[in-house]
Homo-oligomer: A and B are copies of this chain.
Amino acid sequence: MEIINRELIDFKERKFPEKICFKPIGKIHTPFKSLKGIPIQTSMSNTKGIIEIFSEFKSGLIDLIGFSHLYCLYYFDMVRLPVPLQSKPFLDTESRGVFAIRTPFRPNPLGLSILKILEIKENEIHVDNVDILNNTPILDLKPYVPQFDVIKTDKIGWLKGKIKRKVS
């Protein structure tokens, strides 16, 4: 990628931000109209949905169809802040630190799901493995690249021996 100066702020202007704001690039349409029954992870879901990208961003979708999966970054808009910094995850009976669990109830309620790309029609991406509430605001999409994103490890902390197929 060419880094051109007009796209960068000046290093002298750089200041640590107190607040960081984004605008949704789209929304996701899913069969999950309430918080009950949503799979707790994409790997536990075979539900389909449609990511609607707002028309102004449509031209950014070109070339995405060549990939098997995408990272979908979104905003858990149902979460009321502040959240507890420790809580019981679905898959355990003990309280765990929020940064060691995948709960939506996070200081910054950012969601990350790896979704299978089925088809892209105009500004709609048809996806599988959906674990997201209907009408959730989408912030970003990135291609999933196993050469970058696959880590082989069995060091999974408190989750060891606890992963089973479950819904919320």
Contacts and interface: CB of A to CB of B under 8 A. Distances in A.
Contacts of A8: 35, 78-80
B2 A87 contact: yes
Interface residues on A, range: 35 or more
A85 interface: yes
Contact of A64 (B66, B78, B99): B99
A151 B156 contact: no
A37 interface: no
B23 A20 contact: yes
Contacts of A34: 11
Interface string A143-160: 111111111111111111
Quickly give the copy total for this chain: 2
A1 B101 contact: yes
Interface in A78-112: 78-80, 83-90, 96-103, 105-108, 110, 112
A5 to B, nearest CB: 9
B19 A23 contact: yes
Contact of A57 (B2, B69, B107): B107
Interface of A: 1-3, 6-9, 11, 14, 16-25, 27, 34-35, 41-43, 53, 57, 59-71, 73, 75, 77-80, 83-90, 96-103, 105-108, 110, 112, 114, 135, 137, 139-160, 163, 168
